[in-house]
Structure 1
């Protein structure tokens, strides 16, 4: 049995294409791996706070010096990190907002990139500690950006996932969704066809 952690980051609910892709993924994965444990964390309904002085204090102070508020912030961060460490497969559903990822997803990364837990510093530099995991990234984009200089989403996610040791990353892009005409159908069909191959 594998553990699959799914992170939803779209601010929208019913009209979200990235959420549609997630549901497609879940259906296919469950059919192929019925015994796997799937956990969904929705960053729109379970908002993760951005980094602040309280959390930084919780990270940097010894336990006996933390305030109650700092400890609560640290506990929340630990929960997110523990979920990621325990997962065998990570699924990120990420619409493209202004050429990059939603700020909620960036906040999640800020909580789980933890020195000594998901990466460490050594004599040769940082080393990812989450080796052996797989990741799938499901994106929804209004235009066609893959491979262009305007795509700050895939390069960032590849880098940040690689930084913590996750190098087996598959991107599934639904592109051209706001371009009208045949672009919408083509973009969705291509994404769904690629999804059919992942499980």
Structure 2
């Protein structure tokens, strides 16, 4: 059996249907698509475990000075206050370590990630826990510590269009890279992505983009479910 971790980050709580003029038209496309992936996965793998985290509803505490001091203190010498400072991070890391597949809803906010999702990243990129550091290694002092085999699906939604590689404003897209880079740094390098565009336009182009995204989500869920032991 495997474990799927679904993470939502949209500030929009609802989920619109495929017709943006329909029910909950101002809901979250990423929430609807991550839920679609999870439902598709569970339909074929009912015995698997589903973990769910909504970082928009329950934002992780941003990293501060006390967190940094605690993280860089050897576990055996941490004070009670240091352990408290890392308690939430410990829970988030435990979920990450338990997961075989992650599906993360990451809508584009001002060309980048929602702040709560960035806070989640900062809490799970942990020295001595998810990445190693040793000055004695010379030019390569860092190494990833996540167990191999984990896979990531990034689900994004964008108001404009042309953000995909080779697109008219691809250079402004800091969403997929903002997730893939830090997660790859700690060892999660098997990444796929699905995105909805034209949200601000609300016309047939949005409907077509949603239809393509749904088909891509279904195909990814089926392929990954079949490939997962």
User: Do they superpose with TM above 0.5?
Assistant: yes
1:43 alignment partner in structure 2: 55
Alpha-carbon distance in 2 for matches of 1:61, 1:155: 30
1:167 alignment partner in structure 2: 189
For residue 129 of structure 2, give the secondary structure of its aligned residue in structure 1.
coil
TM-score by length of 1: 0.93
Deviations 1:99-121 (A, max 9, x none): 11101111001010012221113
For residue 95 of structure 1, give the secondary structure of its aligned residue in structure 2.
coil
In structure 2, the gaps of 5 or more residues are 15-26, 222-229
For residue 178 of structure 2, give the secondary structure of its aligned residue in structure 1.
helix
2:142 alignment partner in structure 1: 126
In structure 1, the gaps of 5 or more residues are none
CA drift at 1:67: 4.6
Alpha-carbon distance in 1 for matches of 2:152, 2:44: 17
Deviations 1:66-103 (A, max 9, x none): 253x3222111111111101111111111100111101
Alpha-carbon distance in 1 for matches of 2:143, 2:90: 20
Alpha-carbon distance in 2 for matches of 1:90, 1:180: 29
Are 2:6 and 2:38, in contact at CA under 8 Å, matched by a contact in 1? no
Q: Structure 1's 139 and 65: CA in aligned 2 closer, same or farther, altered over 3 A?
A: closer
RMSD: 1.6
Alpha-carbon distance in 1 for matches of 2:178, 2:58: 23
Alpha-carbon distance in 2 for matches of 1:175, 1:152: 15
Q: Which has the higher strand share?
A: 1
TM-score by length of 2: 0.81
CA drift at 1:60: 3.1
Alpha-carbon distance in 2 for matches of 1:135, 1:79: 19
Deviations 1:154-195 (A, max 9, x none): 222221121111111010111111123211101101110101
- 2:65 aligned residue (30, 53, 66): 53
Are 1:21 and 1:192, in contact at CA under 8 Å, matched by a contact in 2? yes
Are 2:59 and 2:119, in contact at CA under 8 Å, matched by a contact in 1? no
Deviations 1:33-67 (A, max 9, x none): 11110000111222201111222232234555525
How many equivalent pairs are there?
A: 198
Q: Which has the larger Rg?
A: 2
Residue pairs, 1:14-53, within 5 angstroms? 14=14, 15-53=27-65
Alpha-carbon distance in 2 for matches of 1:158, 1:77: 19
1:8 alignment partner in structure 2: 8
